[in-house]
Structures are given as structure tokens and as C-alpha cells.
Amino acid sequence: MNIEQFKGLARLPKFAIPSHYDLHLKLDLSAACTFSGTVKINLSITEKTNFLVLNANQLHVHQALFTTSGNQQYCPSDVVVDDDDEVVVLVFDETLCVGKGLLGIEFSGKLNEHLKGINGVKKNMAVTQFEAAAARRCFPCWDEPALKATFKITLDAPSELTTLSNMPIIDEKLDGNVKTVYFEETLVMSTYLVAVVVGLFDHIEDTTADGVKVRAYCPVGRSDEGKFALELTIKSLDIFTKYFSTSYPLPVEVEVHHVHGVEQVLDDIGYRKGSAVIRILHGYLGDDIFQVCYDVVNISTGAIPDSVNVLKEFFISLLQCSAEKLGWESIPGESHLDVMLRGEVFMAFATFGHDKTRREAMQRFQVLLNDKNTPLLSADVRKAAYISVMRNSSTTNRNGFESAEVL
């Protein structure tokens, strides 16, 4: 059986689809800075196969076993970890048939300081940073945003440290100097949203008007630096609860301000404010946040036309801080998520008729007409420019429209 067929693929094969991960991580934050773990993945095999191919990068896979819903077990005859393609290929002598099953994998890895995967920094802290595609550095998984699943996370960590994840703690057991912490199962989400933090923290907390408790975690002795994030989150949740007539759907919104990671990713108050608000709004509206904004405006145009401009200004104000941080031009080394967000934000501005965006887009479009390789209008924001050109065209002024047709 030839595994070369999986070399260089941009996407994982679709003959196995995950629906749930039961992840147990054991962290060694001593000088060794290592971690080990097990992951049990509920799978649907969609076509007969002798292979299971999932993402893994810089991990050691020690053991794997696939168990069908009929309790028949298959042990792979070969396990091939390819760090170049960031995949692990499990090869089975017997064919896996269509149906449901459970894939169990034991693995280990080393903490790093690169803000990718799971990172160990000074003062015995470990924190995950999985955007855009680094969950595979922490545990074997189908690490593609479209392959969403639920996650149940368990952590083994030094007993004196704070342990955090996406959901609240449901149980905790102490064994000497090590505690095992069990977290509630998450909602359906992408792998890059999985979060684990272990370290020494102080925290401050407050409660929204309808009883949602919010905590802001900060380095020891620096709780004051979390007050702005806490106050903003409380106010935003109250506004959205009133606006959408429904309570925030998740039990807790946690902000973590660790010394290195958050300051690099959210490096000024304005962007932190905009990102926090968009993230909370995403909790209400789901993945299609921008489409929902468009739909609300379109429905209001016919149903309550007097409110359309107010709604447009509201959505523009939500995105304003992110737009100022991202800017029109690409930044070397930025994640592909920032690239995608830049396109969506400026396209929303153009669609909602933001005057400053329209003027800037028209100027950059004129530069593009003379130089198709200009960095002033990269591919991710050209759609916003085209929308602005179209909206600026009329029966008497077709210059922009005809130029766009040529491009």
C-alpha cells in the first residue's frame, strides 16, 4: 500500500470525519518542558479505506488503535509521521469499513516558545496558540477549520498552578503535587479555538446584569491591567443581551493577559477592544457573523427603513478598531486569519457605505489600474475596492465600472 499518494496534499482526505475529541494532556513544566497525552476521536468513516490521515507536527506517536462501533479493534501496521507535510498516516492491513468508530492515540511532544502549538515560557507557564493551524503541534487531529467537533479536555498539571480551558471546570482530583482537572464539553468548534493555559495568575471578576460571571486573568500582581478588558466584556455582554433579547450562550467569557503572548497578538488597547467585541458577537451569531450583519441590514431596509443607517453605523463602529489595526496593506509574517479578516472588514465597510473606506478604495483602485502588482491593493482587499467602484458608478459616470470590467 502506497502512502506517497498523501504527500503534498493541501487538504486532508475526506474518508474520515471527526465529531468529538476526548483530550487528556499531561504537562511537565520542569526543566524538561515536555508534555504527553492521549486523544480519543469519534470518527465517521465515509468510505472504505486502509488509511487514516490526520494532522500532527513535531509530535511522537507512540500507539494508535481504531475501534468500530461493533467493538472490533484494528491496530495500524505502520505509523508514518511526516513533519514536512504535517500529517501522520496510520496504515491498516485490514480495510476499515464505512461506519462510526473511535480512534485512540498516545503521543508526546516538547513545549516551545514560538507562540505556535503549546508553549512554555518563564515562571512555569504553558499556553496554547493554535491559530491558524497549530493544534496539530499539541495533539493529532483533523486540523482544518471546516472539520468542527466538540472537545472534552482533561489536564494534569502542578497543583499550585491555575488551569484554564474553553469551558468551566467540572471536577478536580489531587494526587500529591499533581492535580487532574476536568472541563465541561465544548460547543461544536474548530480545532484552532481549543485553548489551554497553565500558570501562576491573579484574577478579577464581575457579573453581568443577567448573572453571567466574567473573569479576567492576569500575571501575579498585575490585576489592574485586566480591568479594562473586564469592564468592556461586561458592558458588551449587557448590550448584546438586550439587543438580541437572549442571554450569552456560553457559561463564562475568560480573558487571559499573559506577559508575552497576548501583548504580541493584541498589542494595543484599541485592537484588543475591537477583537473582544467581535469575539463576543461571534458567540451570538456563529461563524457567519459578517453575513448576518448583511442580512440584518437587508431585512431592515424593507421592514424598518428608518433604522437602516443606524444599523450600518452600529456594525461599522464594531469593526472600526480592527480596521485601524489591520490597515489596507498586508503585514509581513501575519497569520492568514488576519488576511481573511482584513478582506471581510473592508468589504463590510464598502457594503455599508463607509465614506472614508470608499474614498481610500477609489484612490487605491486608480493606482491598481496603472500597476497591477501594486502592494497598495492586495488580493484580500480588492473586492472591497470593486464594491466601492461599483457603488460610485452611475449611468452618467461609468469610468470605474468599465475599468473594473477590464481588470
Q: What is the pLDDT of residue 393?
A: 59
Comparing 309 with 292, the larger pLDDT belongs to 309
Residue 176 Rama label (left phi>0; alpha psi -120 to 50; beta): left
CB 139: neighbour CB atoms within 10 A?
28
pLDDT band at 288 (very low <50, low <70, confident <90, very high): low
Instruction: Give the span between the Cα atoms of 386 and 375, in whole angstroms.
Output: 16
Residues 247 and 312 in one domain: yes
pLDDT band at 114 (very low <50, low <70, confident <90, very high): low
Residues 91 and 40 in one domain: yes
pLDDT band at 300 (very low <50, low <70, confident <90, very high): low
> Does residue 111 have a pLDDT over 90?
no
Instruction: Give the span between the Cα atoms of 137 and 83, in whole angstroms.
Output: 10
Q: What is the pLDDT of residue 270?
A: 33
Residues 371 and 399 in one domain: yes
- Distance from the Cα of residue 347 to its chain's centroid: 21
Q: In what order do the strands lie in the sheet with 87-96?
A: 49-55, 87-96, 78-82
pLDDT in tens, 157-174: 999 999 999 888 999 999
> Does residue 7 have a pLDDT over 80?
yes
Comparing 140 with 366, the larger pLDDT belongs to 140
Residues 152 and 250 in one domain: no
Q: 94-103, 186-195, 265-274, 316-325: which range is least confident on average?
A: 265-274
Instruction: Give the span between the Cα atoms of 248 and 185, in whole angstroms.
Output: 17
* Domain end marker among 199, 216, 239: 199
DSSP 8-state code for residue 149: B
- Distance from the Cα of residue 7 to its chain's centroid: 26
Residues 260 and 125 in one domain: no
Residues 21 and 122 in one domain: yes
Whether 321 and 278 have beta carbons less than 8 Å apart is answered as no
Residues 182 and 217 in one domain: no
Which of 74-78, 160-164, 258-262 has the highest average model confidence (pLDDT)?
Answer: 74-78
Instruction: Report the percentage of the chain scoring pLDDT > 70.
Output: 77
Instruction: Give the span between the Cα atoms of 352 and 36, in whole angstroms.
Output: 49
pLDDT in tens, 12-27: 999 999 999 999 999 9
Contacts for 162 with CB less than 8 Å, ≥ 6 apart: 197, 198, 199, 200, 201, 203, 217
> Does residue 36 have a pLDDT over 90?
yes
Distances (CA, A) of 294 to 143, 287, 349: 29, 14, 11
pLDDT in tens, 225-253: 788 878 888 888 888 787 767 777 665 44
Whether 154 and 182 have beta carbons less than 8 Å apart is answered as yes
Q: 56-65, 245-254, 316-325: which range is least confident on average?
A: 245-254
Comparing 299 with 13, the larger pLDDT belongs to 13
Residues 192 and 243 in one domain: no
Q: Which helix (H) or strand (E) holds 92?
A: strand 87-96
Q: What is the pLDDT of residue 291?
A: 60
Comparing 360 with 72, the larger pLDDT belongs to 72
Instruction: Give the span between the Cα atoms of 231 and 365, in whole angstroms.
Output: 40
Q: What is the pLDDT of residue 56?
A: 95
Q: What is the pLDDT of residue 269?
A: 32
CATH number, residue 83: 2.60.40.1730
* Domain end marker among 168, 199, 230: 199
Instruction: Give the span between the Cα atoms of 74 and 76, in whole angstroms.
Output: 6
Q: Are strands 162-165 and 49-55 parallel, antiparallel or unpaired?
A: unpaired
Domain with 330 in it: 206-406
Residues 189 and 55 in one domain: yes
> Does residue 284 have a pLDDT over 90?
no
Q: What is the pLDDT of residue 63?
A: 96
Using CB atoms within 10 Å of the CB of residue 389, give its burial: 0 to 12 exposed, 13 to 18 middle, 19+ buried.
buried
Mean pLDDT value of segment 33-50 = 95
- Amino acid occupying residue 32: A
Residues 192 and 251 in one domain: no
Mean pLDDT value of segment 121-150 = 85
Which of 119-123, 182-186, 289-293, 297-301 has the highest average model confidence (pLDDT)?
Answer: 182-186
Angle in degrees, CA 310, 323, 394, rounded to 5: 60
Q: What is the pLDDT of residue 24?
A: 98
Q: What is the pLDDT of residue 253?
A: 43
* Domain end marker among 157, 179, 199: 199
Residues 21 and 162 in one domain: yes
- Look at the block and give the residue holding cell 508514518: 80
Q: What is the pLDDT of residue 45?
A: 96
Distances (CA, A) of 152 to 42, 46, 195: 12, 24, 11
Residues 68 and 89 in one domain: yes
CB contact burial 93-125 (16+ within 10 A = b; e otherwise): eeebeeeebbbebbbebbbbeebbbbbbbeebb
**Domain count across the chain:** 2
Mean residue pLDDT across the chain: 79
Whether 147 and 185 have beta carbons less than 8 Å apart is answered as no
Phi, psi (5° rounding) for residue 331? -110, 125
- Distance from the Cα of residue 274 to its chain's centroid: 16
> For the whole prediction, is pTM greater than 0.85?
no
**Dmax of the chain from CA atoms?**
80
Mean pLDDT value of segment 133-158 = 93
Whether 8 and 85 have beta carbons less than 8 Å apart is answered as yes
Q: Which residues pair with 68 in a beta bridge?
A: 101
Instruction: Report the percentage of the chain scoring pLDDT > 90.
Output: 33
Instruction: Give the span between the Cα atoms of 86 and 142, in whole angstroms.
Output: 11
